[in-house]
Amino acid sequence: MPARQLDLTTDVVALTRQLVDIESVSRDEQDIADAVEAALRALPHLTVTRRGHTVVARTDLGRPSRVVIAGHLDTVPVNDNLPSRYDEAAGVLHGLGTCDMKGGDAVILKLAATVADPVHDVTYVLYEAEEIESVYNGLRLLGESDPDLLEADFAILMEPSDAGVEAGCQGTLRVEVRTRGERAHSARSWRGVNAIHGAAEILTRLTAYEARKPVIDGLEYHEGLNAVGIAGGVAGNVIPDECVVTVNFRFAPDRSEAEALAYVEDFFAGFEITLTDTAPGALPGLERPAAKAFIEAVGGQVAPKFGWTDVARFTVLGVPAVNYGPGDPMLAHKQDEHVEVAQIVRCEQQLRQWLTKPQEEQA
C-alpha cells in the first residue's frame, strides 16, 4: 500500500479530516506516524526526531523560552465511526478521533508548517499509545529515552477542553484498605471475627471525610476520597476472615504522590493499606511568563482540571502544563464522536497569535 500523505497547505478542518481518515487505533499508529513524519521532514525550519511511532519536531532559533505543544495520534477502537463525515450546515465534523484528539493534532501540524519564526522556540510532539496502558505511552517513553526533547518553560497538551484552558491536573492513587477476621461457621458466629463488619469503620471515616479545596495559582481544586469497590465473603455459611475496600484518592497537584499516600495512610490509621496504583498531579504553573501570555492570548479564562491527563508527565520533568484543545471531552470515545469545527479554527487562530505576537506586547 502506498504511504498516506498529509497536505499541510490545506485548512485546519480539512487537515483534521485527513488525520481522522487514517485509522490509528492504539498500537497501530505506524501509518499515521509515517504520514506525520514525512510531512514534517519536508519543512526546513524544523528538526525532526522519531522514536517508535512518536514524532518530535523542533525549532532552534535561540529564543529565551521554549514551549512544548503535544497531542496523541492514537484512538480507541473503531465503532462504525469511520471515515469522517462533515455536516457543513451544522458546522460539525463527525468521526473517530475528531474530538480526542485529531482536531488538536491538526492544529499542531498546521502551526508547525506555517509558523517558521515563533517568538518562543517550539517543540511539537505527536505521540503514540495514550489511550491504553501507561507502559506503551509514547510521551512517557520519550521522557525516559530523550528527556532533553521535552525540556521547556511551558507545555500545552491539546486534550479536548472545549477550546478553553484547563490548568494542570489532579493526581490519583488507589489503595486497598483491608480488614482481617477469623473464619467460623455462621451458626456459631461468636466463635469468629467478621471482617466485613470490621469494614464499617472504614466507611464511617469515608462518610465523614471533608474535601480539601486548595487554591493554586488562583484556581480552586477539589480533592476527593471515595470507596470505589468492596470485596469480601467466603460462602453463605462462613464468617469471612477478610474484607477489602478499594479507595480512590484524587489529590490536588500541590501534593506529591508520597504526600498523598502519607495522607491516606494517616486517614486509615489502624488498618492495613496496600497501594495499587498512583500517578502524580500537574501544577498549573500560571505564574510563568509564557503561561501568563498564553492565558491572555486565549481569552484570559482558565479552569482547574479535576481529572488526570498527560500534563502530569510534564510536571515530573519540572515543566508546568495546561490542557487546551478543541472538542467536548464528554464526547470522547463515543460512537457519535464529533467536534465543532469552529473550535478547531479558534484554537489554531489563538495559538498562532500567541506564537507570533511580539513578546514585549505579551508582557
Active site residues: 74, 130
Report whether 273 contacts 176 (CB < 8 A). Answer: yes
Grid cell 461468636 in the structure block, residue: 190
Listed residue (35, 34, 45, 31) closest to 8, CA to CA? 35
C-alpha span between 305 and 219 (Å, rounded)? 10
Listed residue (109, 122, 176) closest to 149, CA to CA? 122
The cell numbers describing 12, all together, are: 485546519
Report whether 353 contacts 332 (CB < 8 A). Answer: no
Burial class (CB in 10 A: 0-12, 13-18, 19+), 143: middle
The cell numbers describing 79, all together, are: 465503532
DSSP SS3 for 216: strand
What are the helix (H) ranges across 129-208? Answer: 138-145, 195-198, 200-208
Quote the distance between the C-alpha of residue 212 and its chain's center. 23
Q: What are 111-115's contacts with CB under 8 Å, separation 24+?
A: 111/69, 111/348, 111/351, 111/352, 111/355, 112/8, 112/40, 112/43, 112/46, 112/57, 113/8, 113/9, 113/39, 113/43, 114/8, 114/352, 115/352, 115/355, 115/356
Grid cell 498549573 in the structure block, residue: 284
Please state whether beta strands 54-58 and 47-51 pair in parallel, antiparallel, or not at all (unpaired). Answer: antiparallel
CB-based contacts of 72: which residues, under 8 Å, 6+ apart? Answer: 101, 105, 126, 127, 128, 129, 130, 131, 138, 139, 310
Rounded to 5°, angle at Cα 131 from 154 and 90: 85
